[in-house]
Structure 1
């Protein structure tokens, strides 16, 4: 206890002026954004959306992992999602090497051995993005219910580029 006190204090300030409660949990714009966990990405702001407009899923590298795919399926069937945007980004740590290379880097850095874990790292982001978009587009629980697009976000300009 105590390691989160600064955040809880900030939350108290946030809650004092919070007025966005009381509405349902569906995606009012019909959008689900699957993007990276990188803190340089603000999914709602980059699309000109507001709280409650979209569902946001984050994975390392913005990859369509099994859990993210489940989130997409639930979004389509329960949460008003009819458009899915897969959005990796420039200068991503998950694009700096292979799973093996990243695992070796962590081992060298602090002695933690994650070798053998599936991280989804790749230096070929465009191929990975194309693969993830095709996987989601062809999923039997998504096909025909949601449009799926692949985009690259530039963390230095704030611009999205439609790729797939």
Structure 2
């Protein structure tokens, strides 16, 4: 049984199903691309690089970081899903770049009263250093590095520009 909080979304899904045309996709990244980017709702990963549904694997994490789950997605992508190129794409004006973990945790506590001090968030004001760290992790990973080309990019949420940094 559905919770009342989701009725609007289920109604929208019912409309979506009427014209659904993606039946039969096999899950392979047709363009050979995977992208790790932020969960920020201003980012349209496929559109920003001229791709469409079925072309790429999109992995979203806070700040566009290569988290353990994102790394597993990349490993499986290069071994089973046709991924040959991986883009790591954080973005401008990201909350995860507004401070360090302690700053974000303090902000949550101030705004909601919840204490997240037991969590590692991966926040950092040095986006370039974090991006280089994540790109190097993928490039040197024994199950990814020799199977895919990895690039580090920065997406500008105000202009739509994607700049390759690494």
Do both share a fold (TM > 0.5)?
Answer: yes
Residue 119 of structure 2 corresponds to 117
State how far apart, in whole Å, the 2-side matches of 1:19 and 1:66 are: 33
Residue of 87, 90, 99 corresponding to 2:89: 87
Q: CA deviation at 1:2?
A: 1.0
Runs of 5+ consecutive residues of structure 1 not aligned to the other structure: none
Residue 11 of structure 1 corresponds to 13
Runs of 5+ consecutive residues of structure 2 not aligned to the other structure: none
The two structures have a TM-score, normalised by structure 1, of 0.98
1:143 aligns with 2:145: yes
1:19-77 residue CA offsets vs partner (Å, 9 max, x unmatched): 12212101000000000000000101111101000000000000001111011001010
1:77 aligns with 2:79: yes
State how far apart, in whole Å, the 2-side matches of 1:113 and 1:81 are: 39
State how far apart, in whole Å, the 2-side matches of 1:142 and 1:52 are: 21
Structural RMSD (CA) = 0.6
Q: CA deviation at 1:116?
A: 3.1
CA contact (8 A) 1:88 1:153 kept: yes
CA contact (8 A) 1:100 1:116 kept: no
State how far apart, in whole Å, the 1-side matches of 2:111 and 2:25 are: 45
Q: CA deviation at 1:144?
A: 1.2
The two structures have a TM-score, normalised by structure 2, of 0.97
1:76-113 residue CA offsets vs partner (Å, 9 max, x unmatched): 10100010000000000000100011001111111110
Residue 20 of structure 1 aligns to a residue whose secondary structure is coil
